Homo-oligomer: A and B are copies of this chain.
């Protein structure tokens, strides 16, 4: 089987990563890569190391010729494009935030505008692959999760579902700069980032809080509240989240470790480290892995969990491909590094 794919928004960091992965996937034929701003050029003109893929205008895209479209567009633009595409045939994997929240009111609260296609919200599958797996073969529209959210939700899923944690989970996250996008800003200028390290959107103010809350509420009758502090790391890619997880009675870090090890035992892309080993960016860069460590906190009733992934792979393009594999009945590992 060959899956015919198209990409919208090819020139950002997520688009570049996705096209490199698609180009190397044995069962995918990349039919087109579209870019509003750079149509007529090669992707290689945009990024020296990229494959030589021609960029076309989005409205010239042969959308009737593809089985699946990947959207690496800004929010709002993504929803509009998705609606247009779904009327024309292909299935859609949206890497923006547009279809992650099921409630249009929540979308308005966090994104400051009415949702462009609220009627589609109920049809989208939130594509945290390890959780969404049963729904993916039938999905026409998949909302790829946020990078921070993936690093936080994956290790919490097996714990929230059994009531191992409640109360306030603290997620202290650190991300590489590619997560901030490719449009030059002062806060991504090399001189401002190198030798610096900076928190931002501390507390419960970052937009990924919305999808984290929604997922935990779906998984647990008494979901924990996540307090989330992102920080900007002077590296190009990678997220490490340090989670401080309050435990229910009868739980300790060893039981947390056993629970996570058992829950992810068969998962090709989630690796639970031996007790006491910490997840690091070196475990995950340029792979689709999420690596998880469990640690005693030095007092009862609290465990520390470290969680690492590559924001451009498991946090974006890789998980999108994993979702595509599941949607089309391929092994999830196809075309991905486990």
Q: Which residues of A contact B (CB under 8 A)?
A: 13, 47-49, 168, 170, 172, 174, 177-178, 182, 184-186, 188-200, 202-205, 209, 225, 227, 229, 231, 233-238, 240, 242, 244, 278-287, 293, 295-299, 302, 304, 306
Contacts and interface: CB of A to CB of B under 8 A. Distances in A.
A235 B236 contact: no
A234 B234 contact: yes
A297 B225 CA distance: 11
A282 B199 contact: no
Contacts of A234: 190, 194, 233-235
A200 to B, nearest CB: 7
Given A174-B197, A184-B188, 11 more contacts: A47-B282, A49-B282, A170-B170, A182-B186, A184-B186, A184-B189, A190-B190, A195-B281, A196-B235, A198-B240, A203-B297
Contact of A193 (B190, B202, B279, B306): B190
Contacts of A282: 47-49, 192, 196, 198
A189 B197 contact: no
A225 B244 CA distance: 14
Complex A-B, nearest 6 residue pairs according to Cβ-Cβ distance, in ascending order = A204-B298, A184-B184, A198-B280, A172-B172, A203-B298, A48-B282
Contacts of A174: 174, 197, 231
A174 B196 CA distance: 11
B242 A168 contact: no
A242 B242 CA distance: 11
A147 to B, nearest CB: 14
A317 to B, nearest CB: 15
B168 A191 contact: no
Nearest to A273: B48
A337 to B, nearest CB: 8
A202 B184 CA distance: 25
A49 B283 contact: yes
A229 B243 CA distance: 10
Contacts of A293: 199
Contacts of A225: 299
Contact of A202 (B177, B202, B278): B278
A177 B191 contact: yes
A286 B50 CA distance: 11
Contacts of A13: 191
A285 B202 contact: no
18 contacts: A168-B299, A177-B191, A184-B185, A184-B189, A188-B191, A190-B193, A191-B236, A192-B282, A194-B235, A195-B236, A197-B238, A197-B280, A198-B281, A199-B242, A199-B306, A202-B278, A205-B298, A227-B302
